[in-house]
Every structure is written in structure tokens, then in C-alpha cells.
Structure 1
Amino acid sequence: MVTTIVVGGFFGDEGKGKIVAHIANTDNPTIIARGGVGPNAGHTVLKNGVKHGVRMVPSGFVYDNARLLIGAGVLVDPVVLDREVSILGVGDRLGVDYRCSIIEEKHIIEDKGTEMLAKKIGTTGTGCGPANKERVMRSALQAKDFPSLKKYLTDVSQECNDAISRGENIIIEGSQGFGISLYYGTYPFVTSKDTSASQLAADVGVGPTRIDEVVVVFKAFPTRVGEGPFPTEMSPNEAKGYGIEEFGTVTGRARRIGYWDGKMARYSAMINGATQAAITGLDRIDPACKGVTDYDNLSDKVKQFLDQAEKDAGVPFTILSTGPEEHEIIDLRKIKK
């Protein structure tokens, strides 16, 4: 039985939602706990052929038997949370740590109205930065003080650690990507807190000695939304040549597209303490590989790319996504152990 962290390896939008959903449906966890910043990152997940974009509820909701928890380190927007709970029907499985800080309307107004954040940094305008600022100043409203959240309140760290002690599988899922970590990303073009695996463990109150696996998720063609350095960025015309055009789940803004960044992959794997990696978008390396579910059926071009990516990152690539659909995936975790 294992405790697994799933963390983004590049600038976000790596496809963590699909990877979390796959691990959940395969490993049968009792708990899926979300760390990360807050509703400023969206995860796109398919369930029974229906696409869902979630910003507050853990993307592992697709596995019906897991308790869904939001850790104390996460900012909660009650409006966004209520809407997702209503759409997804997961209220009976949801737990919100009573220590979570709340995003209020004033935070969203400040976020959108601050020129540096809105124009220079390219913030999502969801209020996370101002809410975290108020949290640091020790004047933030907490979940325990918000009436509509009362039915969800729990001690997430206690639930997670109790499950680990019982020998159950749990998943800790992150949001955002390593490249926009407040500490290790492209400062000042970053989010308002760290986004590494260590932070995710802290967000849900699980100590480092209780983590078994860290799956860092990469994208064959990295993308970035908003401003900031992007060393391997390609031109829009080059991206069109690969048939790549993407838009952010939260903002709807066009994503900037780049080539594989082996240097960043290695550094990300190191800081996150990755034990293995997942990669999405292999069908864009070779469209003929779309939907392939057997490693032996991948083309030589994709296999060569994977060999180099493994050397770059220094960890085995165990989960390979060959398309957006739920079944378009190759799981090599048992083989590569």
C-alpha cells in the first residue's frame, strides 16, 4: 500500500488530471487529497466520456470509492466549490480542512485590479495572491468561520495519516507546475506559493517519511499560460506545424507551446524527489501512436524520444499518455519496478 504524490513538472497544464484519474482507477485509493494553491489552476478530466474542468474538487473524483479532501494549505473559493459539488454530485465524499483560508470577493477584485499582477505577471485573477498575502498577515478568514462550509469541515491531516497507518492507498494531487513555484520557478512570473512535492505533502499534513512515490508529470511539448521565461518556446507557426493549439482551463487564454526541455525536466525531478515520471502528448511526437495502449506498438520515433527523456530526467517513465481519452494510456509501473 502506497502514498503517492502527483506533481506537475513544467509550467502547469501537463495533464495531471488524467494521470491522477488513471492512478485512482488503478490503485483504488481510499483518499484523494488535494494540495496546491487554489482555484487558479484547472484540471480537465474525462468521466464516462464527459469532460469536466475542476478547480477545487480533486480531479480524482472520477474514482467513486475515494474520500475527497482539500488540504489546509489550499485556498478555498466557496462559490467555485459549491458549483463544482453541485455539478459533480460529490458532496457526500468531500472534506475541507477547517484551517483552509477563504478567497473573498475583495481578493478577486484586488487580483484583477493590481496592474503588476494582471498585466506584467499575467495572473489568473482568481484572488489567490491577495488571499495568500492576507493569510501571511494573519488576518484571513478560515473555513471554520464560513457557514456554508460547515458540513464539509474536517482535519485532513488526521484523516490522511490515519489511512496511511491502516495500510491504505492514498493520492496527494498537486495543482500548477514546478516552473511557477514561488521558490523554484521563474520569479517573479510565478504563483503565490511553492508548488513542489514537498509543499504538497505539507499542504495535506503528511510528513516526508510517509511518502512512498512521487510521480512528476511532464508534457512532450511543454506549455505555459501568461508571461514569463520559456526557454524552449516555439513560434505560433511552428506549433501549428505540429497541430498544437491549446487554451487554459481557467482563463481560456492561448497556451504558449515549447519543445521538450531536458534540463528543466532533470532539475524538476531533482527538486520534487521524483521516483517516477508520467508523460502526456506522445501522440504529438508521432500522430500514428494516438490511442496506443501497448508499449511494443509505439513507433521507433516515440521510443527514442522516451529513451532520451528518461536520460534527461533521471527517473523511469512509467505512465505514458497517447491521447486525451481515458483509455489512451500505457502503464509500465509494475514492469519498471
Structure 2
Amino acid sequence: MVSTIVVGGFFGDEGKGKIVAHIAYTEHPSIIARGGVGPNAGHTVYKDGVKYGVRMVPSGFVYDKARLLIGAGVLVDPVVLDREVKLLGCGGRIGVDYRCSIIEEKHIAEDKGTERLAKKIGTTGTGCGPANKERVMRSAKQAADVESLKKYLTDVSQECNDALDRGENLIIEGSQGFGISLYYGTYPFVTSKDTSASSLAADVGVGPTKIDEVVVVFKAFPTRVGEGPFETEMTPEEAQKRGIAEFGTVTGRARRIGYWDPKMARYSAMINGATQAAITGLDRIDPAVKGVQEYDKLTENVKEFVKQAEKDAGVPFTLLSTGPDQKDIVDLRNHKK
């Protein structure tokens, strides 16, 4: 039995979906449970060569044998969930905790109409902040109160713990980056709750003593969508020169690009309690490594980059992504243990 949390180490968009999928294909979990805030973060994943952007369904949906659960700590937008379930055809595998709070139209309207948040902070306008505010005030609607969700309702914490008791594998996936944690991020330019591994475990109701691995996902060139401090940000001209242009899955906004941040990597690994790390975008360090699946075939400058990143973060880098395809990865987990 192995329970693994996959969490973003920078400001989001680190490629967590790909890492979740890879771990799922190799560890064969019976459950992939999602923690995090809600539909304000999107994950881009590939299945059978088709690109999907998901906001509610766990990105581990690509692994067909896993039950897909949404933990009690997650905000649910029933409209978004329904759309994704139909698109992905995964309704038979979905479970929504009956205690999830619901994003309603009024929350979205408030989010988009909030001058301070929409313009100053750069909120995604998906209603998460107002919905969490109502949750804190103990006046929120819960999943158990929504007719369209009744077919999915379950006790996610019970399912997860029962699976662990049976000796099955569990993956808990996060949906935001460490840098926008309400507690540890660049306040006030943050999301509406904590996004660290500890909170992800709480979101799905699995106690800390039952977590075996915490995989923090970093990006060789960190990115950030929206406003807020970004200490290693490069100029748009430099990003263009390097051929890096990215856009947010949810908002479509251009992502700000930065250089590797050793200080943030170490702090993130510390607070998340990382046991290992994954890094994506190594093909942007050196295009010659694109698609490489064996460590020995990596170029020397990429190997040096990874070695330095390991020293910076203080944890072994066991999953090295060399391109966007699911197969573009060097898996060193057996070598590093």
C-alpha cells in the first residue's frame, strides 16, 4: 500500500496532471482523489493523443481503472462538473463528497464584480473566493443539497481510508501551486485557502500518518498567471527569445515566465514535507532532450541543472519530464530510493 500526494511547488501550471497520470500508470491506484480549491485551476492532460483541459474531474481520469473522487474540502461547480463528465465519459467512476460546498451563480457574479479581486489580484472569476467566504460563514449550500449531484454522492474520506486498509494504492492530487497558498503564498495575491500537501490530505480526509510519499512538482521555468510578486520573472522579450509562451487553462491569460527559483524551491519542499520531486520542462533547458526517457541520454547541461535543483530543494528529483507527451519522462524512483 502506498499513498501519494502530488502537489505544485511554484505558482501552479507545473504539469501536475502529467505526473499524476504517470504515477497512476505505474502504481495502479484504486482511487485518485482530488483536493485543492475548486474549478479556478485547470489541468492540461493528454489521453490517446487528445488534449483535455479539466477543472473539476481529477486529472488522473486518464487512468481508466481508478475511482475518481472529489474531497470534502473542494468547491464544486455542478455545471462545470457535468460538462466534464459528459466530455470524458467518466460518470461511472466519479464520487463527490456530500460535504463539498457548492459554487452558485451568485458566487461567480460576485467574483467577477469584485473590483479589488478581479483587477488588483487577478482572480479567475470562477466564484471560488465568494463560495469559500460563504462556507466560512456556515451558510453555504452543500453537495448533498443539489439534486444533479445525488448520483455521485459519497463519503470520500471513508472510501480513501477503506482502500488503504485493504492495501490498495491511493493518489491525492492538488490543483494549485504552493505560491498562491492563502497561508504561505504571496498574500494577498493568493487563492482562498491553503494549497500545501497537509491541506490536500485534510481535503480528502486522510490523516497525516497515512501519507507515504509527497511529490512536489516543479517547473524548470516557473510561470505565474495574474498579478503578484514573482522574484525570478524574466522579461517578455527574454521569454520570447527562449521560445516560451504559455496560456492559462482556465482563463486563457498569458502566463508570466521566470527563471528557476532555488529559494522558493527549498521553502516549498520544506513546508510540503516533500519526500521526492518531479520537474517538468527540461526540454526548454535544452531542446536536445525532448522525448528522452533514459537518464543516460540526457545532455550534460540538463543533468547539471537537475543536480543543482536537487541541492536547492533538498530532496531527490525522481521524475524528469522531457516534453509534453505522457511518455516523455525519465523515471528514477527505483534508483533514488
TM-score interval for Structure 1 and Structure 2 normalised by the shorter chain:
over 0.9
What residue is the counterpart of 2:234 in the other structure?
Answer: 234
What residue is the counterpart of 1:140 in the other structure?
Answer: 140
What residue is the counterpart of 1:245 in the other structure?
Answer: 245
What residue is the counterpart of 2:49 in the other structure?
Answer: 49
SS of 1:175's partner is: strand
What residue is the counterpart of 2:276 in the other structure?
Answer: 276
| 1:15-30 correspondence to structure 2 within 5 Å | 15-30=15-30
1:175 aligns to 2:175 (yes or no): yes
SS of 2:259's partner is: coil
How many angstroms apart in 1 are the aligned matches of 2:158 and 2:326? 32
SS of 2:37's partner is: coil
What residue is the counterpart of 1:149 in the other structure?
Answer: 149
How many angstroms apart in 1 are the aligned matches of 2:165 and 2:260? 39
Counterpart AA for 2:213: E
What residue is the counterpart of 2:225 in the other structure?
Answer: 225
What residue is the counterpart of 1:160 in the other structure?
Answer: 160
Residue 121 of structure 1 deviates from its aligned partner by 0.3
What residue is the counterpart of 2:107 in the other structure?
Answer: 107
Counterpart AA for 2:160: C
Map Cα deviations across residues 170-225 of structure 1 (whole Å, 9 max, x no partner). 00000110000000000000000000000000000000000000000000000000
What residue is the counterpart of 1:34 in the other structure?
Answer: 34
Map Cα deviations across residues 132-152 of structure 1 (whole Å, 9 max, x no partner). 000000000000000000000
How many angstroms apart in 2 are the aligned matches of 1:206 and 1:256? 34
Map Cα deviations across residues 101-133 of structure 1 (whole Å, 9 max, x no partner). 000000000000000110000000000000000
Counterpart AA for 1:74: V
How many angstroms apart in 2 are the aligned matches of 1:85 and 1:26? 24
What residue is the counterpart of 1:195 in the other structure?
Answer: 195
How many angstroms apart in 2 are the aligned matches of 1:111 and 1:73? 19
How many angstroms apart in 2 are the aligned matches of 1:321 and 1:328? 6
| 1:69-148 correspondence to structure 2 within 5 Å | 69-148=69-148
What residue is the counterpart of 2:4 in the other structure?
Answer: 4
Counterpart AA for 1:201: A
How many angstroms apart in 1 are the aligned matches of 2:87 and 2:206? 30
Counterpart AA for 1:164: L
Runs of 4+ with >2 A deviation: none
How many angstroms apart in 1 are the aligned matches of 2:37 and 2:4? 19
Residue 276 of structure 1 deviates from its aligned partner by 0.1
Map Cα deviations across residues 281-326 of structure 1 (whole Å, 9 max, x no partner). 0000000110000000000000000010000000000000000001
SS of 1:176's partner is: strand
| Normalised TM-score (structure 2) | 1.00
> Which structure 2 residue ranges, 5 or more long, are not aligned?
none
Residue 238 of structure 1 deviates from its aligned partner by 0.4
RMSD over equivalenced CA pairs, Å: 0.3
| Normalised TM-score (structure 1) | 1.00
Residue 242 of structure 1 deviates from its aligned partner by 1.1
What residue is the counterpart of 1:295 in the other structure?
Answer: 295
How many angstroms apart in 2 are the aligned matches of 1:208 and 1:321? 28
SS of 2:230's partner is: coil
How many angstroms apart in 2 are the aligned matches of 1:329 and 1:161? 30
Counterpart AA for 1:241: K
SS of 2:83's partner is: helix
Residue 261 of structure 1 deviates from its aligned partner by 0.1
SS of 1:330's partner is: strand
Counterpart AA for 2:322: T
Residue 241 of structure 1 deviates from its aligned partner by 1.3
How many angstroms apart in 1 are the aligned matches of 2:275 and 2:292? 24
SS of 2:246's partner is: coil
SS of 1:69's partner is: strand
How many angstroms apart in 2 are the aligned matches of 1:205 and 1:326? 29
What residue is the counterpart of 1:332 in the other structure?
Answer: 332
How many angstroms apart in 2 are the aligned matches of 1:332 and 1:77? 38
Residue 48 of structure 1 deviates from its aligned partner by 0.3
How many angstroms apart in 1 are the aligned matches of 2:223 and 2:209? 32
